Structure 1
Amino acid sequence: MLRAIDLAALNTATKYPSIPTYHGLDPKNGGLIEDAAAFDGDVYLTEKVDGTNGRIVSFPGGDYVLGSREELLYARGDLIGNPALGIADALRPLADRVTPPTSGIRVLYLEVYGGKVTAASREYTGSRTVGYRLFDAADIPLDVLEQPRARISSWREDGGQQFLDEGELTRSATAEGIELVPRLATVRAGDLPNGIAEMQTFLAGHLPTSRVTLDEGAGGHPEGIVLRNSDRSVIAKARFQDYRRTLGRRTRPARGR
Structure 2
Amino acid sequence: MSDGRKKKPEELRSHRWYGVKDLRSFGHRSRTAQMGFHRTDYSGKPVIAILNTWSDINPCHTHFKQRVEEVKRGIWQAGGFPVEMPALSLSEPFQKPTTMLYRNLLAMEAEELLRSYPADGAVLMGGCDKTTPALVMGAVSMNLPTIFLPAGPMLRGDYKGGFLGSGSDTWKYWAELRAGNITEEMGWFGVFSTGRTPPEVLTALRSAVRSAVEAPEVREKLIGMGAEPQSGNAIALRSLLKRESTVWTKVIKDNNISVQ
Instruction: Answer whether TM exceeds 0.5 for this pair.
Output: no
Structure with more helix by fraction = 2
Normalising by structure 2, we get a TM-score of 0.25
TM-score, structure 1 as length reference:
0.25
Greater percentage in strand: 1
Higher Cα Rg: structure 1 or 2?
A: 2
